[in-house]
Amino acid sequence: MGAKLVSEVASKTNDIAGDGTTTATVLTQAIVREGLKNVTAGANPIGIRRGIESAVKVAVDELKSIAQPVANKEAIAQVAAVSSRSEKVGEYISEAMEKVGNDGVITIEESRGMETELDVVEGMQFDRGYLSQYMVTDNEKMVADLENPYILITDKKISNIQDILPLLEEVLKTSRPLLIIADDVDGEALPTLVLNKIRGTFNVVAVKAPGFGDRRKAMLEDIAILTGATVITEDLGLDLKDANMTALGQAAKVTVDKDSTVIVEGAGDATAIANRVNVIKSQLASTTSEFDREKLQERLAKLAGGVAVIKVGAATETALKEMKLRIEDALNATRAAVEEGIVAGGGTALVNVISKVA
């Protein structure tokens, strides 16, 4: 029972803070030892529990008051370097957080080579590519680059070109490209779009909407908020035939390849985006499903600005695993430091708050 308790404490600490499991284990051992000693001597267990909870609150409040903020790139790099015992890793983590933001997703993967490197995908990316290779603008790289495009978002299937013809004619007048995100584009609609693209009538790329079911609806709404668009959906009583230019979103650039789409610098309202981020954060705080947590974190990262991947390289398998664990701990420690600040390590800060708890 005692071992299981300590294991749960360490696991919970790792889930919340990502580090600090050793300190949590030491504190747990001390609390259990002294608690049992007092209970054996006749103390009321309920009273001891209330005392522990009160002491924890006082200690946490004091730690927060003496914490020093970690607010700039140099400070972040220093925290990460100390935690990982590597200045280079500190630079990677600092650069990654600068690129994708504090809420952005930073993943750690094994590199195919011996060098550790950082790869950053800026903007919102989702795993859906163009529906026809004839929509590419760069035949060598097989990608479609759309500069300053309009963006049509719908959860409907587009089979009849007449459904979107009035909107296409309005976009054509602007001489700007168009990205279509839909449940699917088939029937006569797809070949008609491709033919007009090949003829140079207008630059258009169509992709399938990301996700499935309720998650698809949420992701389409995320994209709409990011780009300033309105999702054309029956849920809102909207029909493609009635859509006009005000329903379209915009972005500085969109890049589409056969597997993915990246939207850079969406023209959505900053306040609306921030509100959406807060909604997702609240959902993250309340969910108990690891799968849902992972998907919510992905959505949060996409809205927050991108995804960074630290690719870990080493000479041997053992060194690779050791380095990967060090970087994971450093990343978690750095995130915690940015969120709540830093205090003296090695238990020093805890010693300093004893007088407040006593």
- The full 3-state SS of the chain, as one line of letters, equals CHHHHHHHHHHHHHHHHCCCHHHHHHHHHHHHHHHHHHHHCCCCHHHHHHHHHHHHHHHHHHHHHHCECCCCHHHHHHHHHHHHCCHHHHHHHHHHHHHHCCCCEEEEEECCCCCCEEEEEECEEECCCECCHHHCCECCCCEEEEECCEEEEECCEECCHHHCHHHHHHHHHHCCCEEEEECEECCCHHHHHHHHHHHCCCCEEEEECCCCHHHHHHHHHHHHHHHCCCCECHHHCCCHHHCCHHHCEEEEEEEECCCCEEEEEECCCHHHHHHHHHHHHHHHHHCCCHHHHHHHHHHHHHHHCEEEEEEECCCCHHHHHHHHHHHHHHHHHHHHHHHHCECCCCCHHHHHCHHHHC
Q: What is the residue range of 104's domain?
A: 73-123+274-340
Q: Can you give the pTM of this predicted structure?
A: 0.63
Asked if residue 130 and residue 263 are part of one domain, the reply reads yes
Asked if residue 253 and residue 139 are part of one domain, the reply reads yes
Asked if residue 44 and residue 9 are part of one domain, the reply reads yes
pLDDT band at 289 (very low <50, low <70, confident <90, very high): confident
Q: For residue 296, what is the domain's CATH number?
A: 3.30.260.10
- Last residue within a domain, chosen from 268, 283, 313: 268
Asked if residue 301 and residue 235 are part of one domain, the reply reads no
pLDDT digits (tens, 9 = 90+) for 34-90: 989 999 999 999 999 999 999 999 999 999 999 899 888 999 999 999 888 889 889
Average pLDDT of the chain? 89
pLDDT digits (tens, 9 = 90+) for 147-169: 999 999 999 999 999 999 999 99
Asked if residue 279 and residue 240 are part of one domain, the reply reads no
- At residue 261, the pLDDT reads 92
The CA distance from 180 to 93, in Å, is 35
- At residue 210, the pLDDT reads 93
Asked if residue 57 and residue 91 are part of one domain, the reply reads no
| Mean local confidence (pLDDT), 199-208 | 94
Asked if residue 42 and residue 165 are part of one domain, the reply reads no
- Last residue within a domain, chosen from 243, 268, 293: 268
Asked if residue 130 and residue 251 are part of one domain, the reply reads yes
Asked if residue 87 and residue 56 are part of one domain, the reply reads no
- Last residue within a domain, chosen from 253, 268, 283: 268
The CA distance from 18 to 108, in Å, is 14
Q: How many domains, the chain? A: 3
Asked if residue 191 and residue 114 are part of one domain, the reply reads no
The bridge status of strand 144-147 relative to strand 157-158 is unpaired
Q: How far from the centroid of its chain's Cα atoms is residue 203's Cα?
A: 31
Q: For residue 195, what is the domain's CATH number?
A: 3.50.7.10
- At residue 178, the pLDDT reads 97
Asked if residue 222 and residue 117 are part of one domain, the reply reads no
- At residue 12, the pLDDT reads 82
Query: Phi and psi dihedrals of 27, rounded to 5?
Result: -65, -40
Asked if residue 86 and residue 217 are part of one domain, the reply reads no
Does 289 or 14 have the greater pLDDT score? 289
